[in-house]
Structure 1
Amino acid sequence: MGPIYAATSLGPFMVDLLILENRIRTAKRFVLKL
């Protein structure tokens, strides 16, 4: 299990985390506007 294999298997997970973080930030901004 090399670093490249680990990176490809973790890739989608990291993308999900980034999307989730962006959603949370957007939600916070939306709540602050209210």
Structure 2
Amino acid sequence: RSGVNGTPSFYVNGNKFDGAATDLYQMLKESTE
């Protein structure tokens, strides 16, 4: 057991993002263009 109890959660403007990390990256990249 590694001591890890779960996976990280990402929140965007107070809303939990349930997609893949690559989808989050793409969404953030597009929002800054």
TM range, smaller chain: 0.3 to 0.5
Higher strand share: 2
The TM-score, its normalising length taken from structure 2, stands at 0.42
Higher helix share: 1
For the pair shown, the structure with the greater C-alpha radius of gyration is: 1
The TM-score, its normalising length taken from structure 1, stands at 0.41
